[in-house]
Structure 1
Amino acid sequence: MNRRTFLRNVGLAAAGALAGCNKVLPEIAAVTNKNNIGSTTTDATSNIIAPLKKIPEWRGFNISDYFQPDPWYVGENTPEELFKYVADWGFDFIRLPVAYPNYLDLAAGQQNINAGDVYKIDETKADKIQNTIYLAQKYNLHVSLNLHRAPGYCVSAGYHEPYNLWTQQDAQDAFVYHWSYWAKRFKNMSTQKISFDLVNEPCYREDVNNTSSKTTAVPGATYRTVAQAATLAIRKENANFYVIADGNNGATDPVSELADLNIAQSCRGYVPYEITHYKAPWVFPDPAYQPIPVWPGEMGGRYYSRATMEEYYKPWIDLAKSGVGVHCGECGAWKETPHDVFLAWFGDVLDILTSNGIGFALWDLKGEFGILNSNRSDIQYEDWYGYKLDRSLLALMQSKK
């Protein structure tokens, strides 16, 4: 349900803590200082400015073990054999969205996060996340660690954050601290094995705790400041680490303000929502009134086809052609979308992406958007060692490698 509030608000328009740990390192503070917005020439930023480089065309899956933004959520651990299946099927990538309260030292059932809680990292909980990463890497899968919920922001609201990532320095300092923490944990790891996806689906919400607060794009200069500071913290530990920034406005729009920072960018494969979220109750409250989607065809008052998808992805393709790494961090469709419509649409989307050197990650590996145990009623599943495998979807994804 990680897209619940964002999709509700923007609808279809887009087709313990150590003493002194809240002190940001001086070289990082120099970047986050509001007087340095947009600067690329200071010594503090010299190790993140490098010749632009492509990222690998990673293809794989998201896993949702730690993504839930509620601090009391306990996810289901992905069994080791699933990582083996992913590798055996020929894929090489796992995106791991994490809500940061999942690795804080919080009271049982604590819902509200306060400023004093944000730096209380529970090493045992962080070890659990690290062990999941190691388990995927055991099968030569690259893992992209993402903060699905970060200090001061989550695309889903309805919880308590002590501050706003986009407007308050304390939140930005905490954001940098968390990325510095994770980069230190993996500083000696090959950059072919891990990357860092800064924050899931950024958008601007005046009140980060209000589910009905209107969302807009984050001001580009603000996004640059936040992303640049976190990237500096990460590359202070290992200058070769891949860093990924999700597109603005919920990962729908490329971010020109980041194009010179050697930061890759991540788009989404959720347009049109009438296909990808057909009858999803957190997006369409009255699914009974939704027309059955078709592909190609008219949906939501607009005709959609491969040509409209090419138009939608053109800014991302242009960004990739300019030398900036581009990846589609999430894509797919919920279980109620007619399977033949889903495959026809998804085949066009994947073909557009991969023919332009852009990899992808299905949301998710297992579950109602996934390739295993998706609970669809309109397909014949293949038994796969006790799991229900959508063989047609697997074959489509394999054909785009």
Structure 2
Amino acid sequence: MMKRRNFIRTLGMGMIAAGVGVTGSATAENLFYSTKNKLPRWRGFNLLDYFSPYREAGGSVTTDQDLKWMADWGFDFVRLPIAYPRYIIFDPSKDITPDDVLHFDEKEIDNIRSLVERANDCGLHVSLNLHRAPGFCVNAGFNEPYNLWKDKEAQEAFYEHWSMWAKRFKDLSPREISFDLVNEPCLREDMNDQHSQRGPVPGQLYREVAQKSLNAIRQHNPQHLVIADGNNVGNDPVPEIFDLDIGQSCRGYYPHYISHYRAPWVWKNPDEAPKPVWPGTIDGKYFNRKTLEEFYAPWIDAVNKGVGVHCGECGCWKETPHEVFLAWFEDVLDILTQHGIGYALWNFRGDFGILDSGRKDVKYEDWYGHQLDRELLTLLKRY
């Protein structure tokens, strides 16, 4: 009997041969989703198995049961944010060096391949993302040997990593995998200070890095699907690459007062975070659905200009009052859905997730030993 993964691969290649490419939906039940958006309206979650650069950190481990539940609940997408130190060989007791960065660990790469295949077996598309790339991460806490946006050596290493991944997955179709170049690009004054001032990457520099990454990936499979996160920490579309065959990924975190209420990696003093409301005034500013529509207007304009757009991360950290979270999030999802833009909640199990989020104001439902946020799941399934 043909494995489901092989069926999906055959179906995907057949779509490409027919000239449909990646403009269809990722679900077998709705192959030709009608929208201007050139990317499918994928819906799903981020998987944090390889999010930390430290192997000993432990953290989330995605099970086959997790993947089955996602598929059973109607989702079709997972994003896999990866820290590159997880799949190279280096001495973790010392700072990583440029000589270490291309020393790939074949065993760990095989483990990542296995996770991709398990997700594909459940009918889930996988977006492979470098959350920490050679020379850059939006998060501090790890000493990089160089700067992706300043050093040619870092850029060359970046292209080598993407060439390696593209070659490793050269047999998979766009139905099964896409490559999300680097998470939330930005310039930061101090790479080791999480709260240092950030700004956008110069547009032409972003274009150069994206173009060369695309070339490195497509040399192994000309059908590989490539996505670039929005500039300025994922918030802004990148018009400098509108003409390239690259999709773009936005964020569902605006305003951060709601999505990251009291989050310690955002607030130097979480006790100073203003209490969120929706709609209403927070920190002297008024927010409602109209302000959300204004925020997403450039992304909707990108879709109308022929750019494929997907929301690669969204949701709220566990401290946001649940009632506020759900009211705000329904407006976010409704705006995205009206324009054929799919989404991925930041995690499945954990502080942003539908399972085991640890929220204090939720009446959880027991779900095979896990705590299920049924209200959030019901909202997601509506969109």
Shared fold, TM over 0.5:
yes
User: What residue identity is the alignment partner of 1:379?
Assistant: V
Correspondent of 1:96 among 80, 84, 103: 80
In structure 1, what is the Cα distance between the partners aligned to 2:187 and 2:200?
Answer: 5
2:13 is matched with which residue?
none
Correspondent of 2:218 among 222, 235, 243: 235
Shift of 1:149: 0.3
2:309 is matched with which residue?
326
Correspondent of 1:66 among 50, 53, 61: 50
2:378 is matched with which residue?
395
In structure 2, what is the Cα distance between the partners aligned to 1:232 and 1:53?
Answer: 23
Is the counterpart of residue 254 in structure 1 residue 237 in structure 2?
yes
Q: Number of residues paired by the alignment?
A: 350
Shift of 1:360: 0.3
Contact 2:37 2:309 in 1 (8 A): no
* Cα displacement string for residues 153-199 of structure 1 (whole angstroms, at most 9, x for unaligned residues): 01012322111111111111000000000000110112100000000
Shift of 1:211: 4.3
Shift of 1:274: 1.2
| TM-score normalized by the length of structure 2 | 0.88
| 1:35-54 paired onto structure 2 within 5 Å | 54=38
Query: Percent sequence identity over matched residues?
Result: 57
Correspondent of 1:383 among 342, 363, 366: 366
1:46 is matched with which residue?
none
Correspondent of 1:305 among 264, 288, 297: 288
Bigger drift between 86-95 and 285-294 goes to 285-294
Is the counterpart of residue 124 in structure 1 residue 79 in structure 2?
no
Correspondent of 2:204 among 212, 215, 221: 221
In structure 1, what is the Cα distance between the partners aligned to 2:189 and 2:153?
Answer: 16
Shift of 1:229: 0.5
Correspondent of 1:367 among 350, 364, 367: 350
Three-state SS of the structure 2 residue aligned to 1:266 is: strand
In structure 2, what is the Cα distance between the partners aligned to 1:269 and 1:377?
Answer: 23
Residue segments in structure 2 that go unaligned for 5+ positions in a row: 1-21, 24-35
In structure 1, what is the Cα distance between the partners aligned to 2:190 and 2:76?
Answer: 38
1:85 is matched with which residue?
69
Shift of 1:114: 0.3
Residue segments in structure 1 that go unaligned for 5+ positions in a row: 1-49
Shift of 1:300: 2.1
* Cα displacement string for residues 100-158 of structure 1 (whole angstroms, at most 9, x for unaligned residues): 00001122x33511010001001001111111111111100000000000001010123
Contact 1:328 1:360 in 2 (8 A): yes
1:283 is matched with which residue?
266
2:159 is matched with which residue?
176
Correspondent of 2:138 among 148, 155, 172: 155
User: What residue identity is the alignment partner of 2:67?
Assistant: F
Cα separation, partners in 2 of 1:293 and 1:209, compared to 1, 3 Å? closer
Contact 1:72 1:110 in 2 (8 A): no
Three-state SS of the structure 1 residue aligned to 2:49 is: coil
RMSD value over aligned CA atoms? 1.8
Three-state SS of the structure 2 residue aligned to 1:237 is: coil
Contact 1:244 1:265 in 2 (8 A): yes
| TM-score normalized by the length of structure 1 | 0.84
2:60 is matched with which residue?
76
